[in-house]
Structure 1
Amino acid sequence: MLIQKLPDTLKFHHLNVEYCPQFVEQRLSEGIQFPEFLHRAVLKRRCEFLAGRACSKRGLLALNHLPILELKVGEHNQPLWPDGIVGSISHCVGHAVAVVGRESVDLVGVGIDIERVVSADLAQQIGDHLLSKQEQNIAQTVFNYQQLVTVVFSAKESIYKAIFPVVNRVLGFESVELVKVNAEKGELVFEFCFELKQTFNHDITVYYELWGDELFLTWCCLAERDLCKLNLLGSNNINKA
């Protein structure tokens, strides 16, 4: 599968996940390293982890970057990328994706997320916790409620992954708010909360695609121009995760 509008500087890979010991063996035969803490994990967790790492390895190869044996895991479970590389990994039931690129002034962070559209019952249970009234009002003419809950959750996940190396902390769902939807372009525009506006100097755009009727893929990028001037000094160390 391909992503529309993805810059040539970013390499995207998708892998269907199968939940069987043979799938694990296939990924290990590719040279994907299995971290010690996952040796006793359930089969589902092992298959999805290895699939995500396989996608990231293929992305690194597409960049002509010699892949390291293992992407280590940070304290917040984020992948730790090689110097000069930015990337992001995501998986849901049956699918894993990754996007990687070379760090530059135009690419200092990237986030990607893939989610299955939630059930009607789950959407009702979690919708009010994930969405503000403004977000529900803005997007209700574009998406049904299940889609709305899913795509906004996914988009926020993509944003948090892209900006994590800058803020270096886990954020709540109220940290960004949907302010505009452009269905024709597949764009969601989010505004940062007051605190984050001290770090990021304007809104952030997330791109989304609906694969079939059940999968949302979202992604976004961060450039040096998106950072307030006071944060540019730290941009050389951005998104090593």
Structure 2
Amino acid sequence: MTASPASPRPVRLMLNKAHYPVTSLGPGTRAGIWTQGCTIGCAGCVSQDTWAADPGTLVDVEAVGAWLAGLPEPLDGITVSGGEPFQQPEALAALLDRVDAWRRERPAPLDVLVYSGYSLARLRKEHPALLDRCDAVLTGPYVERLNTPGLSWRGSSNQRLTALTALGRERYEGTGPAGPPPMQVAVADGRIWFIGVPRRGDMDRLSTRLRSAGITMEEVSWRS
């Protein structure tokens, strides 16, 4: 008797959260996926809750893909941030392959933007196949002293937004959103999420204003 071939093991991703709609991390209305785990540890990072590589956050990539496929319209793109997505290369590849297969069935174009604290040169050397799956990447470590006005979707002026495909060039080359950076507030599972790229000092000012209104934030993502 010939043994049946074993089923391929599911690829799993350490996931901090997924949210729809996101309108502050890329053009249009988007799905946001935040990976869990980052060893870069940029000073002043507003997402320190994503630093620990926590196996308890593992989810099957297929489950994330099913969540994406069930989202309503409008859906113009997907933003993957973190954490550091490129520290989970196998899972990121599986996720982006799943997205690519799904978006080919859609009538309207959907772009993929991935944030990374690594330089573009390093990603081109170590993860060229992953870059081939992205329409645009925003690369470079966050540098708090370079957090200045007018940076669109970037946290600091050293970071680089690079379009990698024709769709990426169409949507990301040229100017980003005008005015102050957009920020969103989302409430889920008893927690409040601030989604976007704040300017330096914004979160401390927010904490001060909330305290003056009698509201205390006990656990915040920008302190580990």
Do both share a fold (TM > 0.5)?
Answer: no
The structure that is helix-richer by fraction is 1
What TM-score do you get using the length of structure 2 for normalisation? Answer: 0.29
TM-score normalised by structure 1 residue count: 0.27
